A and B are shown apart, each in its own frame.
Chain A
Amino acid sequence: MSELLIALMLIAGSGKGDGSYFRPSLPEIAPVPFSAADAREIVQTAQDRTEATSQHYEGTLKVIDARGRVSDKRWTYDRLGSHGRSKAVLRFTEPAEVKGVALLIVNHPDRSSDQWMWTPAIQRDRRIALQDRSTRFFGTDFSFEDLEERDIDQYRYRLLGEEPVDGAACWKIEATPTGRKVSQYTRSVIWVREDNYAYARVENYDGDQLVRRLNYQRIEQVQGIWTARVLEMHDVRRNSTTVLTLEKLQYNLPMHDEDFTLQALRRER
């Protein structure tokens, strides 16, 4: 699983907010041996609980590099739909030099997403090629791939055991991309909180080497959906960290399909 995707999934909600997907029996099945089916079920539940028709937030992005230098950006984020069938537009609002730069992400349940970037200063859109998804997302510690929202079916799962994160009991699950999924990571390890099915941490590996670690912090309920308000991504190789803080988060706002097209992207706001 990828980092920002998971972040976005957690931000997303069921749309009901009644906790109907909560399965109290699951923590009880924690004792080993765990089966693959159990792991998938946990992830499925976590995904179901973040289901929402739409999402909007304003994000603050703070990149702290290995030398401690800090750069800040802000963006607005709108998403229509959830998980593998969603479309999202991310538009930078600050600083002034990048204002208006936007990214359109069209997710697909059965394959990697399509992504386009809009650069207002030259009035051009550019397609982010599939092969480029492993590159860093504009100097942050996220990669373009990490912006994708993926479907549960794009991975195989294996329950590794239990391990607490920040004092909260979690299931530790390994996710491996299936053949149809093109990923820079060979596997991910996900910590899912046993109390609310919210993601607590994700580690992404290339072979045996840890590449990125995403920590979910300030997990709160927003319109009935357990949501991490702060996401901290650490790039192990570069020893730099990006902190994404979500503000003015709202779910299930009315949004329109036509606002998530290349033509809409070109319409500056």
Chain B
Amino acid sequence: MILLRLITWPYVRRHLARASLTTLGIVLGVAVFVAMYTANQAVLRGLEHTVDRVAGKTQLQVTAGDAGFPEDVLERVQAVPEVKVAVPVIEATLETGLTGQGNLLVLAVDMTGDRSLRDYDLESGDEAMIDDPLVFLAQPDSLMVTEEFAKRNGLHADSKIVLGTMLGDQTFTIRGIMKPTGLGSAFGGNLAIMDIYAAQQVFGRGRTFDRVDLALRDGVALDQGRAAIERALSPGFEVAPPSSRGQQFESIVQVYSISMNISSLFALFIGMFIIYNSFAIAVTQRRADIGILRALGAFRSQIRTLFLVEGGVAGLVGSAVGCVAGLGMGRALVGEVATMLEGVFGIVQQPAEITLTPGLLLFALVVGVATSVVAAYLPARQAARVDPVQALQKGRYQVLTAGQNRARRRVALVMALASAALLWLGRSSVPFYTGYVLAILAALLLTPTLALLLAEALRPVLRWLRPVEGTLAADSLIQAPRRTSGTVAALMLALAQVIALGGISLASYAGITDWVDTALNPDLFVTADPSLAVRTFRFPAAMGPELRSIEGIEAIQQVRSVRVPFRGGPVLVVSVEIGGLQERARREPVAGDAETMYRLAGEGKGVMVSENLADLRGLALGETIDLPTPGGLLHLPIVGIVKDWSDQLGTILIDRQVFIRQWHDDSVNIFRIYLKPGASEAAVKARIFDKFAGSRRLYVLTNREVRGYIMRLTDQWVGMTNAQLAVAVIVAILGIVNTLTVSILDRRRELGVLQAVGGLRGQIRRTIWMEAVAISVIGLALGLAFGAVNLHYILEITRRDVGGMNLAYMYPVSIALGIVPTMLAAAFVSALGPGESAVRGSLVEALEYE
């Protein structure tokens, strides 16, 4: 503590700006991590809270994915002796159409029995607030809302509210108001209760339920009850506690969470290099202090501890500020995350409040402090090794010895070779990820050497550009590689990540464009929801012939998709007339023969699976899969593997007839419509609206609109990652500012002498600017090169662990070319402040320095 007070604190006070910049690296890293994590958690907790509140006393839920099932399943469940009470549920979200109110979660239940499971906790503690329970059941427009929702919208008993239903806009009557506690707090209070049989019509569900909620008889264990119900039903049903819905949601958005967390940690990792750089510089600058301390009898361990504690304190302060900043960012981000998850996964949620849990606070602090301490370790060790005699001599201390360089190069070479060998060795995770880490370490260890080489290579260029300033700038880099290596490493990593994610985006856009061109080629799409992924509403099959009879329509394809559990994880089953698909949207399989694939799948003798599903679940052509369905296990071979972007967790394509047979469901999510040659898109669209106006809720999207929708989603997805990359780049730029500030401080005497012998202020400024641009050029060169390697690894991670997508290796040249001026400009802007401070300082002070 004494050393901290005597040595560290005066140093920090003298270099407050730089200490702040150093800490900012951690602040940003932690802030991004906290923001992403809390935003994700808010969405997840929102769902879990809703699930919990809606569940009431429910012990188990019977579902068939999100497909729903016929009504008779309820009676089969109710007949199980272990079941005390079982009630049907339809749960869906509706847009309220009320300004600022967003979605309304509609819980449709059979009010005659549902109160055995759920307490509706009505206003006045009296169910008379449902003015009349019989009227509530008798009138299909009856709705019960929460007190909060009612207050927000000035609603009371008998108020009217218009909601978009499957039958068009319909007016509902508020016939009950729930207290804002318990069930009433689900979905942020945006909850409505309605009669389930009315909901079947409103949501176009036919005679199906979404799930059955149940409680077991007293004394029946959960597992015992579960087993009994499973015995009574076919394997297509899942019997699980309500909490498992939260887990399912988590597994659905896992892809997203993983990529967000990787990017957050990456930002932190880059921050680590800034810390390392700052401490390395601090050690260099304080060599004399350290020498004096050592001469006065301070132990090496005390010196090491001093720097480690400094690192810890910087980490602690940075993490604390980062947590606060992260909460603010999280609040701004949560709406975006929820919107994107709705668009991509079709899950509509009302996020919970952003909160910093003690666990997250502790984790963020530990990560921030640990990152900082780890970053400070090498400089601290270096400081502990300082020889008191040498330290008190003046001279250049930032030159790596030839021995140190050789050792680093050797280790880096071994790591690079090991990394290549591991890549070649096997596909399992341990060697792969070990290889990736080794590749990063090798690149980092080689950074000082490569930076030096590049600086030497740049010297003639800089000299050619500006003989005096260029030479001075290049020499500054060459003589003090340690000063710049941390910043260069940070820049390199940030840019390598930009290249990798840019490559992923490029390949994804290329893949999606190809898929959209071939698979999504209908002229019009008729959907019941503007978000193509949301499957709340369904059309009756009878609408097919009605559409077909409309003038200008040549052919239609009926698509019904459901998310169901398959081998322990969710998968999207897409049913469509395979024959029609082959004829109009034929895609070449990546495994299997196209003719055989379409023929067998069309005859109901096989399934087609998406490439990402095959990769994620290790499925092979010819393998027979057992897909649980309400009609029993669907036992069919894989007859083809195709590239399909319908779902990030994988898709199984089956013929519509197979679906109808197995799921007992002929409803439709989307009609794909092909027009007759010469038919006007706008005219047919108008005819469709005319035919179903007022009687059906429907959206008619043109091919262009669907393309735009998918591309927007892709942009959103990529945009989320890009936002974090921007932060990483900002962190790296901070490193440049930091490095230049130190460089100027280091060379104050040198710069002072220059001015004293007639050097112009403009020359000094240009020297600093050129040094900054040179650092940027070195960082760019290394980053763009290492980006090529990083892209390979990230593509492999995407394939094996994230989305199962086998993306082509496409180096993002345009992105790389775009980065170059951006980074050069950023470096130049970063150098303006330090450049000014270099010429504004007192000449006398500068010459007295040291």
Binding site for B on A (CB under 8 A): 65-67, 69, 71, 73, 92, 95, 97-98, 100-101, 117, 119-122, 124, 126-132, 134-136, 138-139, 144
Contact = CB atoms under 8 A, between A and B. Distances in A.
B84 A131 contact: yes
Contact of B132 (A67, A71, A122, A129): A71
Given A66-B126, A98-B134, A98-B138, A131 B112 contact: no
Contacts of A138: 132-134, 137
A92 B139 CA distance: 14
Contacts of B134: 73, 92, 98, 101, 138-139
A139 B175 CA distance: 13
Contact of B138 (A71, A119, A127): A119
A139 B133 contact: yes
B115 interface: yes
A67 B85 CA distance: 31
Contact of A128 (B112, B138, B140): B112
A97 B138 contact: yes
A269 B472 CA distance: 102
SS class, residues of chain B in contact with chain A: helix
Nearest to B78: A129
Contacts of A92: 134, 138
Contacts of B127: 139
Contacts of A136: 133
A129 B137 contact: no
Contact of B113 (A67, A69, A120, A131): A131
Contacts, number: 80
Given A66-B126, A126-B197, A132 B116 contact: yes
Given A65-B126, A65-B128, A117-B112, A131 B138 contact: no
Given A69-B128, A71-B132, A139-B130, A126 B138 contact: no
B135 interface: yes
Contact of B198 (A117, A122, A128, A130): A122
A182 B740 CA distance: 85
A47 B8 CA distance: 99
Interface residues of B, number: 28
A129 B86 CA distance: 9
B197 A139 contact: no
B138 to A, nearest CB: 5
Nearest to A121: B140
Contacts of A119: 137-138, 140, 197
A135 B138 contact: no
Given A138-B133, A139-B128, 16 more contacts: A66-B126, A67-B126, A92-B138, A121-B138, A122-B198, A122-B201, A124-B197, A126-B112, A127-B75, A131-B78, A131-B83, A131-B84, A135-B113, A135-B115, A135-B116, A139-B127
Interface string B69-101: 000001100100001111000000000000000
B135 A97 contact: yes
B353 interface: no
Contacts of A139: 127-128, 130, 132-134
B110 interface: yes
A129 B135 CA distance: 20
B112 A132 contact: yes
Interface string B309-331: 00000000000000000000000
B515 to A, nearest CB: 42
20 contacts: A67-B128, A71-B132, A73-B134, A98-B138, A101-B134, A119-B138, A122-B140, A122-B197, A126-B112, A126-B197, A129-B75, A129-B78, A131-B84, A131-B85, A131-B116, A132-B110, A132-B116, A135-B115, A138-B134, A139-B128
A91 to B, nearest CB: 12
B110 A121 contact: no
Nearest to A144: B112
Most buried by A among B74, B84, B134: B134
A186 to B, nearest CB: 14
Contacts of B135: 95, 97-98
B126 A121 contact: no
Contacts of A134: 116
A97 B139 CA distance: 7
- Across the A-B interface, give the 6 residue pairs with the lowest CB-CB distance, nearest first: A132-B113, A138-B134, A139-B133, A131-B85, A98-B138, A124-B197
A73 B134 CA distance: 10
Nearest to A128: B112
Contacts of A117: 112, 137
Contacts of A98: 132, 134-135, 138
Contacts of A126: 110, 112, 197
A122 B196 CA distance: 11
